[in-house]
Amino acid sequence: MILQNYYSIKFIEDHLSFLDQTKLPLSEVYVDTDDYERIAIAIEKLELRGAPLIGISAAFALALSFKNVSTNQLDHFNKVYNRLASTRPTAVNLFYSLDRMKKVFQAITDFSKTYQTLLDEAVAIYNFEEHCSNKMAEYGFNIFTKKFNVLTHCNTGSLATAGFGTAFAVIKKAFDEGYVNHVYVDETRPLLQGLRLTSYELEKNGIPFSVQTDSMAAVLMQQGKVDLVITGADRIALNGDSANKVGTYNLAVLCNYHNIPFYIAAPTTTIDRKIPTGADIEIEYRNSSEILSINGNQIADLKIKTFSPAFDVTPSHLIKGIITEEDIYFFPYNFIR
């Protein structure tokens, strides 16, 4: 088997090193920085992406901002906190991580140790997400009763979190145990996370796959080539409604029609316990250029009006199960209450 020889993020000698995902798969470019603003921009530009990884990155950014700050620490914390919180509105992991950092900061009594204290918490957040990845893989493996053909959407591997990922970790575990025959990968328009990133990770891990456009998933299901669909999530409401990369709702509807199990894998940090339903999830809308251009190359008149939500919300009754680091839960998802 081909082993991974890349990483999404590492903390090295008081700097954050991360793989610029916008350059993949044609080139592997790592960025080294201790500038929180550079990390904030990386999150906005999707150089760093994936709900858990956004939270991890923001935690390290907040810690790094205190490397050389000794006075007016409260004002500085609030400024950096608000800047990072403004980067991406939908993924709840960002706010989970920032709020953990805030609680730790508010408990500090020796302000000469602020940097190290916040850095320790950022490392703890990373380690927890890695733990979640491992446990999701273990629980998720239980949904495989035979050798399946699996379809997935967007990217849910190491490029999206710590460890081997969320849905990707489940797929990898099942493949390693001999229960995955083939993985079908939605290209995931408009930013092609499936084509660029998931195919990159599948290849790195020696898992057989093919890529199709998002609109071709229905044909695969019609022809009986898909046994199971599993995706990640960026925010889960109290009733189990789940926001994920736009195109996920399409898959859930198709699975419902074709009687194919549709699962989501996400850590409990993705559950937003403050909102009752998916109607309360704020959906991020992206610039029209992401539809009208590919990799910076214009493919249509930039004056064309576009509709470009980054996410959609899948109603909980269409989700057969939500795989977390605690267990697999099923509709009506009373575990969240």
Question: Residue 195 has what DSSP assignment?
Answer: I
Q: Which two tokens stand for residue 225?
A: 């080539």
Report which DSSP code applies to 310: S
Q: Where are the beta strands (DSSP E) in the chain?
A: 9-12, 15-19, 30-33, 148-152, 180-186, 209-212, 228-231, 235-236, 242-245, 262-265, 293-294, 297-298, 311-314, 321-323, 328-329
Instruction: Return the bridge partners of 231, or none.
Output: 264
Residue 234 annotated as catalytic: yes
> How far is CA 301 from each of CA 89, 162, 290, 296, rounded to the nearest angstrom?
28, 39, 12, 13
Sign for the pseudo-dihedral over CA of 137, 140, 143, 149 = negative
Taking the C-alpha atoms of residue 80 and residue 73, their distance in angstroms, rounded to an integer, is: 10
**Which is the catalytic residue, given 214, 234, 241, 272?**
234
H helices, E strands: number in the chain: 11, 15
Phi, then psi, of 10 in degrees rounded to 5: -145, 150
Active site residues: 234
